[in-house]
Amino acid sequence: MLRLSKFADYGTQVMAYMAKDGAVHSASEVASGLDMAAATVSKILKMLARENLVASVMGAKGGYMLARPPQDISMAEIINAMDGPISITECSGDSSCTRESLCSTRGNWQVINRIIQGALEKVSLAEMIKPGHQAGKHHVSGQHIVDTSAISRRGKSA
Amino acid sequence: MLRLSKFADYGTQVMAYMAKDGAVHSASEVASGLDMAAATVSKILKMLARENLVASVMGAKGGYMLARPPQDISMAEIINAMDGPISITECSGDSSCTRESLCSTRGNWQVINRIIQGALEKVSLAEMIKPGHQAGKHHVSGQHIVDTSAISRRGKSA
DNA sequence: ACTAACTAGGACTAAAATAGTCCCAGATTG
DNA sequence: CAATCTGGGACTATTTTAGTCCTAGTTAGT
């Protein structure tokens, strides 16, 4: 299915909520604003704070605020904060692979991984919350959007 | 983590094994060739057969073979066969979203989803099994590889 | 015809990852 | 010093994923 964890999804929603203004929001306020359980939102915000995507203010009247303007925060950062590094297969990350003698796909998985990472780095939180891309309205088709030349160039089948 | 299921990973390995020649291979032969459990490989091959990525030959001396030449099979097809449609969040697919009033990110998730889908459609099985991309050797950086203009064009931050 | 070698399909079990809740400690405000 | 908030982590429940097994049907060889 190639799905993000729910945390990454929630994290994006929380960040989107906070991107509306630069004010300090408590976890419980965000929770009611997004209609989510307070404990869950609190956990999400702690995770985001640890990765410095939001700044925290302790004490009464404390809360969280975006650490940077939304156009300087990429979706890749949010996903990384919530789910850890993107790695679509076990072998596409840094850890060693015991099957390299049997399987020659590793290097190419790593290339694909980077393409996806790159795509997510290019989308900022500010862009992510822009309306105007309702389902079916856009004409992105997967054509001419991605250049996989790092894989195909050295080949033939183009 | 944004990880494929192990089945998608196994499926790729199985397809890669079969891509070496056009011959018929039994499930148990593939299993021993790849050092995997026979029952698991059998299950994988059944899944691939149902999606017409491999053709099956029943009876004694039967087995499986690639349904098409490896350059005509995309990674997207293999992943779709094993994991179902790519959908990085719940709302990035077709199913309805109960939170659309609270969250404006859906359309953009769908765009991102298509970018990833497009990247995987562009990589063929033939390319996937080519050596030459050992870890760290390539210089794909996530820069200038992906054009996210469908999202960013209508914006400002580029 | 019969047997051995296969695939087709699905039921079932086991294991692991994920999601969600709760608790206690420390900071700040009034 | 009481109320309100974050920090950090332990814990539990739930869902997903992975893996095994069983029965039925097909074909080749003898």
Least confident of A2-6, A107-111, A141-145, B7-11: A141-145
User: Is residue A153 less than 8 Å (CB to CB) from chain B?
Assistant: no
Give the separation between CA A109 and CA A118, rounded to whole angstroms.
14
Chain A CB contacts of B142 below 8 Å: 114-115, 117-119, 121-122
C-alpha closest to that of A158 among B130, B136, B30? B130
> At A114, which amino acid appears?
R
User: Would you say residue A135 has pLDDT above 60?
Assistant: no
Chain A CB contacts of B124 below 8 Å: 157
Which residues lie below 8 Å from residue B55, measured CB to CB, with a gap of 6+? B49, B64, B65, B66, B67
Give the residue, A93 or B69, on which the prediction is more confident: B69
C-alpha closest to that of B40 among B85, B86, B82, B84? B82
* ipTM score assigned to the predicted complex: 0.86
**Helix (H) and strand (E) counts in chain A:** 7, 2
pLDDT digits (tens, 9 = 90+) for B71-125: 999 999 999 999 999 999 998 877 778 888 888 899 999 999 999 999 999 999 9
In eight-state DSSP terms, residue B67 is S
CB count within 10 Å of CB B158 equals 11
Cβ-nearest to A142 among B91, B121, B143: B121
Say if residues B155 and A130 touch (Cβ distance below 8 Å): yes
Segment A137-149 mean pLDDT: 44
Which residues lie below 8 Å from residue A34, measured CB to CB, with a gap of 6+? A13, A14, A17, A41, B102, B103
